[in-house]
Amino acid sequence: MSLLGSIVSKILHPFGTSEAQAAPADKPASTEAQPTSGGSAPASTPTSGGTSGGPVDVEAVLNDMAAKNGQKLNWRTSIVDLMKLLDLDSSLHARQQLADELHYSGDKNDSASMNVWLHKQVIKKLEENGGKVPADLKD
């Protein structure tokens, strides 16, 4: 699974409900969101955290993860801290790999600019894949 796919999966599908839902992270998950309007949910769908067909509250999921984490991580503005919170490799190499996945066209050696861009793109992808993102985290 791609690094972006791992991020999307850990936030929007924290119980491992479906790898297929997180895998196409470079495309909106509209095909996954439409079938949930039916009357019954599949047996593999978890029953916690707003899974009744509505969007996953990204802020609530990440705040919950942060509350259970021993480190003080600023996931709201830092891609490094967001990746650490998700227990993913946050090294420069990993972030450069994520930048490649997201088609970053800037200088990948300018990590400060790249990090800001990456954070915005990850938040955007979370929203495109069915996440409810608060206005203060959007561009």
Q: In the prediction, which pLDDT does 104 show?
A: 98
Give CA 112 to chain center in angstroms: 20
Please list, in sequence order, all residues whose beta carbon lies within 8 angstroms of the beta carbon of residue 45, skipping any fewer than 6 positions away.
17, 51
pTM over cut 0.85: no
In this structure, of 34-43, 45-54, 89-98, the range with the lowest mean pLDDT score is 34-43
At 1-20, the pLDDT tens digits run 899 999 999 999 876 544 43
Given a contact cutoff of 8 angstroms between Cβ atoms, the answer to whether 99 and 108 are in contact is yes
Tokens 């967001």, residue located: 82
In the three-class reduction of DSSP (H, G, I as helix; E, B as strand; rest coil), residue 115 is classed as helix
- Kindly provide the residue ranges of all beta strands, DSSP E only, lying in 28-106, ordered along the sequence: 56-57
Q: What's the pLDDT at 74?
A: 96
76 or 54, greater pLDDT: 76
User: 79 with 119: CB under 8 angstroms?
Assistant: yes
Q: Read off the pLDDT band of 105 (50, 70, 90).
A: very high
